[in-house]
Each structure stands twice: as structure tokens, then as C-alpha cells.
Amino acid sequence: MTKRRTLAALAAIALALPLAACGGSGGSGGSNSGKLTFFSWDGEDTMKPVIAKFEQENPGIKVEFSNAPPVPEYISTLQSRILSGTAADVFAIAAENKTNLINGKHVVDLRDKPYLKNVPKFNQTTYSGPDGAVYGLSVASWGAGVLYNKDLLAKVGATTIPQTWDEFLALCHKLKDAGVTPYLESVQGMSTPLAAFLGAENQTTGDTMDKKIFDGSAKFKDYWVEPLTQWSRLWTEGLVTRSAVGLTGDQVRQEFVTGKAAMMIAGPWDIPGIRKAAPKLKIEMAPVPGIAGGKPYLAGAASPGYAINSKAKNPEAADKFLAFLATPEAMAIYQKATGAITVTSDFQPTIDPALSPIVKDVRAGNVYLPQIAWKRAEDILNVEATAQLQLLVQGKATPEQVANALDTKLASTS
Amino acid sequence: MTAQTLAPAGTSTEVPAGAGRPPRFNWARARETSANQLFLVPVALVFVVLLVVPLTQTFYWSFTDFTGYSADVNFVGLSNYRKVLTDPSMLAGLGFTLAFTIGTALLITTFAIPLAVVLNKKFFGRNFVRSVFFFPAIPSIAILGLVWGYILSPLGSGVLNSVLETLFHAGPYPWLSDDTLARLSVIVVAVWGGTGWHSMLYLAYLQSIPADYYEVATIDGASARQQFFHITLPLLTPAVVISNFLLMTGGLKVFDLPYTLTKGGPGFATYTITQSIITSGVAQGRYGLASALATLFAFAVGLVAVAQLWVSRRIERRVL
């Protein structure tokens, strides 16, 4: 009998053990002065060579690496680690979590750090708080524009890249008449041409467009209606099928690499895949042509920055790590692994030639993305904007209705 | 199963000598019972840790302004509940969630029962055919969603559109770009993915129906159709109850398939309540609000489940 009871107790303990293990899932922990914990949204393949070089130069410090893929998985994992007090010493601050990290005082102010000296103002401002403090070391930016298949363009006699939206639409007409799908973009998020139109407009207003919308002195409809109207000409003039509303970015890329579509929306991340799938394709990327009164512009933003946990177990090592990440040496390794357009002034990245027309603007910070420029309720507005843009493409909403819906949504969040 | 039925004869079930006196406490039986109940502890722990604790926390957070980043929260009373019930975008997914649940439950049940009847018959390659129908239940629904995204691509180069063009010179159809077609496509893929699994459930119940019933019915001259409606279907009622209970609760909680196929679009056409909870909670850092929606939703799902069980039990009692 005793034997049976002991057996039952043992079985119970054995079954309960995995639970105990779950409860104790680690994060940084311990006060090992030589250990630095780092939680990244770049994968291990990308960061391993950078970390190896850092450890080689700092023999006393051992980096404990962990990562989660962007974006929702990364955000939620970091969130639960911060809540449970097990977040790493260094982690990535992104557009999607910067407000919560800064408002919750979970990240350290880096504004006086010498390693920020080589980082452009644009990247610093993206991760700065209202008091001017800088909370992230962002060493790269990205820009999205139109990627052209130059062979298909040559077929209809186009030898230059359009500079105005009217020229772009005229080119679309020519391609369509020649039996080629002129242009495709995925509308499962913020539209790149729309963001570019708004970015050009924002620049002409001296970067005050969103400030005015969010302080109540202007409305979305004051700035958005004309860009929305111009963008929707792609569908109202029958140049692109309204079915494009259901396309993913992968499906658009597939049409482009197989030579079925002449132009697509793309970012630097698309280029390696396209080169691999269609090595002979003659491609070139350029900013989105400007609408009346605006110049060609790029949608884009500063890449996520590296931040130091305000409760870091090893703040000195964290500081050293960030200083290393901004060095030309680290940039070279990182850039080689990612192909990213790095922005630190003392390192010149080697970029795919197809991206040449956009590199200068991206490095100078001449890029714009509404959901990053917005001052609050970024994701709430982005979800609403995406749904409204889809209705616009389907012909179920007018540009005025889309802008009004955003004004209504913003009002509901105040 | 009680401890008494497990107890060995001659120990706990015998009437003690000297009946009339109050029965003495049976230590042996108590020890036996406690030893058996120890095995329940791990399951109970799992239940408490993975279900009771999170549910209680969600309920607590629904009255706070919890952002997910700090446990230092403020009590906001019923304002989250007020917001959930007044903000149309929070309930944007309600219509499709209900349509998906009812649609998949009806269609899967309609297809799974005849399929199970066929798979229960003897024919060459039966095990292989059973495996083929069960296969969609093995990969993650999210992967199926991605694959079906290519099949249902609204462009002429999409797999289904290419087939329709080749065979009938028809299309291309905007499978995932038109509100109605997108809703139908999501439901059809869910039915394709779930029918095999549920038919296995029915198959298990079918195999427990004694062959004698069919033999007697055949001797009495009952046709195959009569046998199906008067023997098979009534005796499958417990399976229908279980299958539909799973389909209803699973359907109301659906997230992965619509999200991977359409991301909730076009517009809010295939948006679901769970997507709303996840978006407001994780992406927007509004855990308080998301918790209020989750609490209301859990309560509604619970009510539906209880009501469904009550109705099913009554039908079961009448039929069997």
C-alpha cells in the first residue's frame, strides 16, 4: 500500500515537473558581471558573426543571444519578458513598441553617448522621446519605391523612369495596351505610393503635417484626399485589377519575377530574392513619381534601434556592445549579412546596383511612413487605414470617406 | 469511475459484522481513494495554471488600463466594457465569426457523416483513402492558409483560376478580393481542412454500431437509405453532439485561417473577434480593452456551449 502511494506521489511529481520548468523560463537572470544578454529581432545567422567579433574584442564579456522573428512575435515576447523582469540587457526598440517602452521608462536615454555622433538626426529622432532623449541606436534605414523591369519598359519604348505620377500612369496605359500587366502592389498594409505622396507633401509643409493633424489644427481630409484620389486612379482608370486587393507581397513578387508584371512596389529586402529567382532580369528601383506639386519620394523609415534595458544587469557591457555595433567594423559584418542600407557616417555600405537611385535619399532620411510619423494610436489608425484603403481599391469608398474615417478613428482614441 | 468500483472484492464493499452499529471509518478505502486521487493533481495543476489563472487575470485586467508592459495599473471600472460595446471596430468581426461558425459546423457535419459511412465500408485501399482524408488535419492551419492563398490567388495566374481558364475558359475570379467570395473561400477551406478529422470521429462511433441491426433491417426489407436514416443517423447522435460542440467552440475562436488567407480583409469582410482581441492587445498595447472583449466573448462562447449541450442532450434523449 505504502509502495503504491509512493508510486502515485512520484508519478504526480514527474507529471508536474514540466510545469515547474515552464514557470522558470529564463531571461537575463544572475549577476554574472561578464555576461551580457541580447534579445534581437534579427536572426542568429545575421547576428552571430557580429557577436563573435565583439566577444573577440572584449574577452571578458560573453553575449547570451536570443531572438524572435518580427513583428508580432518579437513585440509580444519582449513585452512578457519586460513584465516578468527577465528582459535582456540590450534589445531592439521598434516603431511598434517605442511608445510603450519609452512611456514605461523601460529604456535608457542614450542622447549623450559618443556612438550616436555618427547616426543621422532622422534615425535619432525616430526613437526619441518628447523631451529630446534618444532611446535607440538605429544604424540603418529602408526605403520603398517602384521597381521597374527595364526589359518590359523597353518593349513599349520607355527608356527613362517616370518623374511625375501622370507620366507613370501614361506608362501604365502603354504597357496595358501592349498586353503586359503594368503594375502591382499588395494592399494588405499601408500603401507605398500613398505614403510617398504624403511624404512629399509633408516635406513641403516643413514637416508639420502630422503635428497639425494630431494637435487638432488640421484634419486628415485636409492632406489625404488629393493623394488618395491620385493613387486610386490606378483602379478608376482600369490600369490595375481591383482584385489586387487580395494579393500578398509574395504573390506580387512572383508576378514580377516571372515577367508578367512590369512594375511593382518593393523595398531593399525584395532584391536578393528577385536576383535569385530571375538573375537575368534588368531591374531598377526609383522613388515613387510625384503628384502635382510634389517631387518623387520614398516610403520608408529608420530601422529598429538597439536599446539598453533600464533594469539591465550589466549596463557597462551593454554600453560597450552598443558602442561596438556603431563601429565601421561591426557595420561591415552586419551589412554583409543583411544587405541593409546602413546610415552611420563613417561607413559606406555596398548596395545592390538596382538600389542606387534610392540610397542617397534613404541615408539622408528623405523617407516617410505615416504610421511612424503619427504621434499616437499608430496601430489603431494603421489597421483602420488598411481596411479603408482596401475599400477604396474595391470601389466601395471614396477618398473623402477614407480620410473622414481616419478623422473619426483619431477622434475616438483621444 | 468511483473508488468503490475499483476496490477489490472482500475489502471495502462487504457489510461489516455487527450491522446496526454506525459504520466505522474505513481507513483502507480512504488510503486507496487518496492514492488514486493523487493522479489527478498534475492534471488539476495544468488546468489551474494554464486556464484558471489566465482567465482570472484577464477578468482582473479588464477593469484596468493594463498595457502589457507594467504590472503597475490603474483601476478604470467599466470603461473598457463601455468602449467594447460602443466602438464598432471592436465588434467588426462579430458578423463573420458567426457566419464562419455556423457555416463550417453545418457543412462539415453534412459532409463528414456520409464520408464516414463510405470509409466504414470495405474496399481496396481503404486505409490509404482514410489517411488522405485525415491528412489536412495534420499540418498547421496557418500553413494550409498560406498554401490556399496561392491556390485562390485572384490573378489569372492563380492555381484555381488557371484551372478554370484551361477547362472552361472562365474567370479569373477574385476569390480573396471580393467580400462574399472571400468569406466563402475561408469557409470552404475550413470545411476542406476539418471534414476528414470529423469523419474519423463519426467513423469511431459507426464502428460501435452492432452489425445485427443492419442484418435485421435487411431481412425486414429496409433499403440502404432507410437504414441510414433510421439506424445509422440516430445512433450517431452522440457523435453529432460532440463534433458540433467542438466545431462551434472552435469556430467562435477562429483566428489562424482567416488571418493567413486574407488578414481579415478585404476591408473588415473576414475579420474575426479573436483577431480584434489579439490586435488590440498585443499590437496596440491595450490589454485592458482586449481583456474586456475577451471576457465578454468567453462568456458568450460559454453560453452558446451550454445552450448547445442542453439542446443536444434533449435531442439525444428523444432519439435514443
CATH of the domain at A149: 3.40.190.10
pLDDT at B21: 63
B211 versus A193: the higher-pLDDT residue is A193
Q: Residue A376's pLDDT is what?
A: 83
Phi, psi of B93 (to 5 degrees): -90, 0
Give pLDDT, residue B8: 40
Check CB contact under 8 Å for B45 and A19. yes
Residue A334 shares a structural domain with residue A223: no
Residue A197 in domain: yes
A-proximal residues of B, 180-239, CB under 8 Å:
182
pLDDT at B11: 41
The 10s digit of each residue's pLDDT in B189-200 is: 999 999 999 999
DSSP string of A137-196, one letter each residue: B--EEEEEEEEEEHHHHHHTT--S---BHHHHHHHHHHHHHTT-EEEE---SSS-HHHHH
Q: Is the dihedral of CA A314, A317, A319, A325 positive or negative?
A: negative
Mean pLDDT of chain B: 86
Q: Which of B263, B247, B225, B242 is nearest to B301 (CA)?
A: B247
- Residue in B65, B84, B155, B184 to test binding to A, most A beta-carbons within 10 Å: B155
Same domain, A198 and A246: yes
Q: Does A358 fall in a domain? A: no
Residue pair A189/B263 in contact (Cβ under 8 Å)? The answer is no
- B67 and A100 within 8 Å at the Cβ level: the answer is yes
A19, A387, A390 ranked by CB distance to B49: nearest: A19
CA distance A96 to chain B (A): 7
What is the spatial distance between Cα A84 and Cα B69, in angstroms, rounded to a whole number?
9
* Beta carbons of B171 and B165 less than 8 angstroms apart: yes
Is the pLDDT reported for residue B215 higher than 60? yes
Query: Which residues in chain A land under pLDDT 70?
Result: 1-33
φ, ψ for residue A349, nearest 5 deg: -70, 150
Give yes or no for a cis peptide into A130 (omega within 30° of 0): no
Give the pLDDT mean for B149-166: 89
Nearest by Cα to B197 from B116, B313, B289 = B116
Question: Which residue is closest to B280 within chain A, CA to CA?
Answer: A380
Q: Does one domain contain both A134 and A146?
A: no
Asked whether residue A176 falls in the same domain as residue A127, the answer is no
Q: What is the DSSP string of B220-265?
A: TT--HHHHIIIIIHHHTHHHHHHHHHHHHHHHHT--HHHHHHHTT-
pLDDT for position A166: 95
Non-local (6+) Cβ contacts of A276 within 8 A are: none
Q: Nearest CA to CA, how far is A9 from chain B (Å)?
A: 6
Number of domains in chain A: 2
The residue segments making up the domain with residue A217 are 142-301+369-413
Q: How far is CA B129 from CA B115, B124, B126, in A?
A: 11, 9, 5
Residue A4 in domain? no
A353 inside domain: no
Instruction: Output the pLDDT for position B70.
Output: 78
Q: Is A154 in the same domain as A258? A: yes
Same domain for A29 and A172? no
The reply to whether A396 falls in a domain is yes
Q: Does residue A288 belong to any structural domain of this protein?
A: yes
Is A160 contained in some domain?
A: yes
- The span from the CA of B154 to the CA of B167, in Å, is 17
Q: Which domains does chain B have, with CATH numbers?
A: 94-319 (1.10.3720.10)
Are residues A67 and A160 located together in one domain of the fold?
Answer: no
B270 touches chain A (CB under 8 A): no
Closest CA to B130 of B202, B190, B58: B202
Which residue in B has a C-alpha nearest to residue A103's C-alpha? Answer: B69
Q: Which pLDDT band holds residue B60 (cuts at 50, 70, 90)?
A: very high
Per-residue model confidence (pLDDT) at position B319: 66
- Residues A228, A133, single domain; the answer is no
- Nearest CA to CA, how far is A44 from chain B (Å)? 23
Please spell the DSSP secondary structure of A292-351, one letter per residue: TT---BEEEEEPPEEEEBTT-S-HHHHHHHHHHHTSHHHHHHHHHHH--EE--TT-----
State the cell numbers at B317. Answer: 434523449
Please name the residues between 52 and 81 in chain B that touch chain A, using a CB distance below 8 Å.
67-71
**Which H or E run contains A38?**
strand A35-40
- Do the Cβ atoms of A265 and A358 come closer than 8 Å? no
Inter-chain CB pairs, A–B, below 8 Å: 133
Q: Which residue has the cell 454500431?
A: B209
pLDDT grade for B20, boundaries at 50, 70 and 90:
low
- Domain co-membership, A238 together with A385: yes
Predicted confidence band at B4 (pLDDT cuts at 50, 70, 90)?
A: very low
Domain identity same for A193 and A282: yes
**Alpha-carbon distance B111 to A195, whole Å?**
47
Task: Clarify whether residues A130 and A257 are in a common domain.
Answer: no
Residue A95: count of CB within 10 angstroms of its CB? 21
Instruction: Kindly report the pTM of this predicted structure.
Output: 0.81
Provide the β-strand partners of residue B299.
none
What was the pLDDT predicted at B320?
62
What pLDDT does residue A127 have? 93
For residue A71, give the nearest of A403, A413, A379, A363 by alpha carbon. Answer: A379
In a domain, A239, yes or no: yes
Same domain, A164 and A281: yes
